[in-house]
Structure 1
Amino acid sequence: MRIGKQDAPFTAICTSDTHQIKVRGQDLTGEIIGNTDFITYFWMLVTGQVPSETQKFFANAVLCAIAEHGLVPSVVAARMTYAAAPEAFHGAVAAGLLGCGSVVLGSAEVAGRFLAQVVEAVAAGGDAEAAVRALRAEKKAIPGFGHPQHSEGDPRANLLLKLAAEHGVEGAHIKALRDVQAALPAVLGRPLPINVNGAIPAVMLDVGFPLAALKGISLLARTASLIGHLQEETERPIGFIMSGAAAAAIGYDGP
């Protein structure tokens, strides 16, 4: 049974033969290993192009910004999974990544798609306020805004946007982000700060990273964090402590 398109059986990422492995047209052992830093390699794998120094700078910045934020749900899931199955380090990493969704961690992708829609709407004669009102009419949150802890402003977002201004990379998506922020008081009755998952897509899209791969930024960054947490779990385990605390915190109200 044929499912989906089957008329382009090609990949442009990697090929190999007896003597050579080529990645994006470059010899892995002759040109990449020992010569290319991982951020450049990551960008090249995703886009097929070697990043400019500015693109590499901001890829580094956003990966550092989103990698770690304490015992967030993805980390809790990973550490509790490892406590229950210490033979499955990879399973514990996967458990953490599977929680990368529209509310926590993966929300940069949602915000990026929203900002892209705002950019398109403005180009067609619309405005950011109308886009915000359309979301609220569907009772949806405004992606990229607000934070339960950083209510007075997400320091990560503030720094990323400051760096974007200093490096002269503010484009249509950062403008859309600012326009949405300016529209919020009229729509919601109160302002909301830009959070890191609003700043990341705005900056990355303006420096040329592809919209479809935005979630990969969060996945790659959080993988590094999860590995760190799981290494600590091997030495200072807290997985069962968190499990016990959860059981103690939740009461039973069934029959």
Structure 2
Amino acid sequence: MTNEQIKQLPAGRTAIAEVDIHGVCVHGKDLSQELIGKVGFTEYFLFLLTGRIPDQGLVAVTNACLVAIAEHGLVPSVQAARMTLAAAPDALQGAVAAGVLGCGSVILGASETAGLMLKEVLAGKEVSSIAESAHSVVRALRQARKPLPGFGHPTHKQGDPRAHRLLAYSRELGLAGEHVAALEAVADAVPAHYAKPLPMNVSGAIPAVLLDAGYPAGALKGVPLLARVASLIAHLQEEQRQPIGFILADAAEHAIAFDGIPARAA
């Protein structure tokens, strides 16, 4: 792009932070004098998102969701990060990035798609009951052979304890509302459309409790991403002390059968 083309671009704007010789101003608050040492990181994260100091209910629910989704053992994102650090031990940031890049619609990103599904259920209740709307949404996903976001789990086949605890905690705080109701309506509709059990998982509970607490829908994926980065850093610190990255790679090599063209005999 030429300098002349750059000059013709509309003026860019940001309302999050202003930095000058005197310090940093975030959403109108002095970072050094009004925020450091006075707000926790979750509260600050929500403040960055919304431009408002969040109420304590939203902070509590967001904290619970971050704790719930941060760690789940040697999941693909963790394996990718640990194997990357084994190959490049001087690049912690690259290993974290490798793990984050492995977070998509199947792993971690399902919170976002589940949130969109709950919105669709709630939109449908304008012309029918929430139960009927849930059946309609589940039926459409089933007929289209699309995944049902927020349901099913390869390990927690009898129910995800994290999901149930988040819903219970939301009720304890008096924050459970229409999104939790929509999620439970979907759960009630599932047996009518799926032959095998498909229990609710944590990625279904997270958007339900967050949205009812006032969390912005457009940033739903941010909570599992932020949480998983904390876990990746912990795994990478352990990788430096107790390396398993090459063990994971070797295990994959031996677990996968070769079915290509064999080498010709000499």
Q: TM-score, normalised by structure 2?
A: 0.91
**Does the CA contact (< 8 Å) of 1:181 and 1:191 recur in 2?**
no
Kindly indicate whether residue 144 of structure 2 is the aligned counterpart of residue 141 of structure 1: no
Shift of 1:190: 4.2
Q: CA deviation at 1:17?
A: 1.6
2: CA distance, partners of 1:197 / 1:44: 23
Identity of paired residues, percent? 55
1:51 correspondence with 2:71: no
Matched positions, count: 252
Is this contact kept in 2: 1:144–1:199, CA < 8 A? yes
| Distance in structure 2 (CA, Å) of the matches to 1:137 and 1:11 | 43
Aligned counterpart in structure 1 of residue 73 of structure 2, from 70, 73, 98? 70
1:199 equivalent in structure 2 = 205
SS in 1 for 2:25: strand
CA distance in structure 1 between the partners assigned to 2:62 and 2:127 by the alignment: 30
Could you tell me which residue of structure 2 aligns to residue 111 of structure 1? 114
Counterpart CA distance in 2 for 1:52 and 1:93 is 31
Which residue pairs with 2:156 in the alignment? 150
Q: Which residue of 2 aligns with 1:11?
A: 14
Matched ranges for 1:28-107 at <5 A: 28-107=31-110
Post-superposition Cα deviations, 1:207-226, rounded to whole Å, max 9, x if no partner, equal 01111101100110000000
CA distance in 1, matches of 2:197, 2:256: 34
Matched position secondary structure for 2:18: strand
Q: Which ranges of 4 or more aligned residues in structure 1 deviate by more than 4 Å?
A: none
Partners of 2:45 and 2:163 in 1: CA distance: 23
Secondary structure of residue in 2 paired with 1:123: coil
Deviations 1:57-111 (A, max 9, x none): 1111000000000000000000000000111110000000001111111111111
Deviation of residue 191 (structure 1)?
A: 3.9
After TM superposition, give the deviation of residue 119 of structure 1 in Å: 1.1
The one-letter code matched in structure 2 to 1:129 is H
In the other structure, the counterpart of 1:222 is 228
Does the alignment pair 1:123 with 2:117? Answer: no
Write the distance in 1 (CA, Å) between the matches of 2:133 and 2:196. Answer: 19
- Quote the RMSD (CA, aligned, Å): 1.4
Structure 2 residue runs without a partner (length 5+): 262-266
Q: Distance in 2 between matches of 1:189 and 1:203?
A: 28
Q: TM-score, normalised by structure 1?
A: 0.95
Secondary structure in structure 2 of the residue aligned to 1:188: coil
Give the structure with higher Rg (CA): 2
